[in-house]
């Protein structure tokens, strides 16, 4: 991979990079399309990163559809697939773990409910970026906090790679596309719509002053559809600090994480 890309760099070609965990859907393809628009070569990685799963069962049950993924990548015009083995990314003998100082970002929301998750994300992204040396990196707003973490990582590494955060692709009924959606049964799939409904509710009802009743009512919408909630939060879009009283100006994002049976779903929406 490095030899191939070094040659491309020497020939003056630009490289866009789309890291994924496979089980590809249209959301992933939209990132590839964004990269293809500006870069000569688009590298897509498929690597289910054990380091970012705090829940072993979630890792074991993560969907793997590599044959279909490859067909989709060919059709999408992704030039290069990087499909490394775990030992290529984490060679045995690498014992001293690097700690990435993510500060406040790691203490809230996904960081709070999935301890170690973002250290795992940084660990793999650091390795992947080291190998791919991309000019441009494409990630989804669906994982809002992850984009912030990776932006921080790029700053820590003093990396010249540019991060592009791309819009969330949704199913026709509004459910955010996700590899985990394939694990939803028919009833859970219907219930899952409550996340999009709750985000739209918050956006539609947002007023100056206290936001408490909005998050309370949104949470009630979710529990009514059998969700077990990790969080329903309205936060500052730039820092992710919770906003309980809105001044009418602050940029806000609403974020939700909740379980439909054992399947954990996340989504978010920019409010203003
Ligand atoms: P994953 O394979 O779930 O790790 O996702 C790989 C990349 O695709 C990440 O940057 C995600 O944010 C992005 N992604 C996941 N779902 C969507 C979606 N519905 N729309 C746009 N991008 C997405």
Give 99-154 pLDDT, tens digit per residue.
Answer: 999 999 999 999 999 999 999 999 999 999 999 999 999 999 999 999 999 999 99
List Cα–Cα distances, 60 to 9, 49, 54, 146, in angstroms. 37, 11, 11, 22
SS3 41: strand
For the CA of 24, the closest atom of ligand 1 is 2
**Distance from residue 176's CA to the centre of ligand 1 (Å):** 10
Cβ distance 21 to 47 under 8 Å? yes
Helix intervals (H) in 16-132: 26-38, 56-60, 66-76, 86-89, 110-113, 117-132
| Tokens 């000569």 found at | 40
Atom 10 of ligand 1: nearest residue by CA position: 139
Q: What mean pLDDT is reported for the chain?
A: 96
Task: Kindly list the protein residues whose Cβ atom lies closer than 6 A to any atom of ligand 1.
Answer: 20-21, 27-28, 30-31, 139-140, 142-143, 166, 168-169, 176-179
Predicted structure pTM score: 0.97
pLDDT band at 207 (very low <50, low <70, confident <90, very high): very high
Look at ligand 1, atom 17, and give the residue with the nearest C-alpha.
27
Q: What is the structure's pLDDT at 93?
A: 85
Top mutation candidate among 31, 48, 64, 165 for ligand 1, by most atoms within 8 Å of CB: 31
Q: How far is the CA of 47 from the centre of ligand 1 (A)?
A: 13
């Amino acid at each position: 991979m490095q030899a191939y890309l070094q040659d491309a760099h020497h020939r003056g070609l630009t490289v866009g990079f789309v890291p994924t965990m496979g089980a590809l859907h249209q959301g992933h393809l939209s990132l590839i399309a964004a990269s293809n628009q500006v870069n000569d070569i688009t590298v897509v990685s498929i690597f289910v990163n054990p380091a970012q799963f705090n829940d072993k069962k979630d890792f074991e049950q993560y969907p793997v559809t590599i044959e279909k993924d490859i067909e989709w990548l060919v059709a999408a015009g992704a030039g290069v697939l990087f499909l490394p083995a775990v030992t290529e990314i984490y060679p045995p003998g690498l014992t001293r773990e690097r700690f990435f100082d993510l500060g406040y970002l790691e203490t809230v929301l996904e960081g709070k409910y999935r301890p170690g998750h973002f250290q795992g994300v940084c660990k793999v992204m650091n390795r992947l970026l080291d190998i791919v040396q991309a000019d441009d990196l494409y990630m989804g707003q669906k994982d809002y906090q992850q984009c912030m973490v990776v932006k921080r990582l790029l700053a820590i590494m003093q990396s010249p790679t540019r991060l592009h955060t791309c819009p969330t692709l949704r199913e026709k009924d509004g459910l955010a596309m996700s590899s985990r959606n394939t694990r939803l049964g028919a009833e859970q799939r219907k219930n899952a719509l409550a996340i999009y409904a709750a985000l739209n509710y918050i956006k539609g009802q947002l007023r100056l002053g206290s936001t408490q009743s909005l998050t309370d009512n949104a949470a009630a919408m979710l529990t009514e559809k059998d969700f077990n909630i990790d969080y329903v939060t309205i936060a500052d879009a730039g820092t992710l600090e919770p906003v309980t009283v809105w001044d009418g100006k602050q940029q806000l994002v609403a974020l939700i994480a909740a379980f439909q049976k054992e399947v954990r779903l996340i989504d978010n929406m920019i409010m203003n």
